[in-house]
Copies of this chain bind each other. A is one copy, B any other.
Amino acid sequence: MRVTIGRKAHFNAAHRLYNPNWTDEQNAAFYGKCNLPNYHGHNYKLEVKVKGEVDQETGYLLDLKWLSQIIKEEVEEPFDHRNLNLDTPEFRNLIPSAENIAGVIWRKIQARLPKEKNLDLMIVLYETERNFVEYSGE
């Protein structure tokens, strides 16, 4: 029996969007308010979904306490109450758009999943209640 389990988490961070290869005018024209120089912020909400086989002995796909701990170590501790542009090495050379944040989080969690269990990972990242990104490693 192959199911998907999901776990929600959240972190509050500042960021701004700009491409260092562009002029200020190009950045302002393309990114609009998201390019304002002194940063703005979001309450990011994260859904981590893992698909795999249920262990008939435990009734679990995997232990959600373990998954919560992975999310805490890989996402909440390094990103919460941080400035994504200034404080987190992952975005030193990567624009912290919701798309790229989702990619970074997916790769960090994927690296912690046990390879032998044949698990599929999908994440959903809400930047606001109205905007979100889904990524599953494609």
Contacts and interface: CB of A to CB of B under 8 A. Distances in A.
Given A6-B132, A14-B38, A38-B82, 18 more contacts: A3-B134, A6-B131, A6-B133, A7-B130, A12-B42, A14-B14, A21-B57, A33-B81, A34-B81, A36-B82, A38-B83, A39-B41, A39-B83, A41-B41, A54-B99, A54-B103, A59-B97, A64-B131
Interface string A8-27: 11101111010101000000
Interface in A66-84: 80-83
A100 to B, nearest CB: 5
A15 B41 contact: yes
A67 B66 CA distance: 27
**Copy count, this protein chain:** 6
A95 interface: yes
Contacts of A43: 41-43, 128-129
Interface residues of A, number: 62
A28 interface: no
A111 interface: no
16 contacts: A1-B103, A4-B133, A5-B98, A6-B132, A6-B133, A8-B131, A12-B40, A12-B42, A14-B38, A15-B41, A19-B57, A30-B63, A33-B80, A39-B41, A59-B96, A61-B99
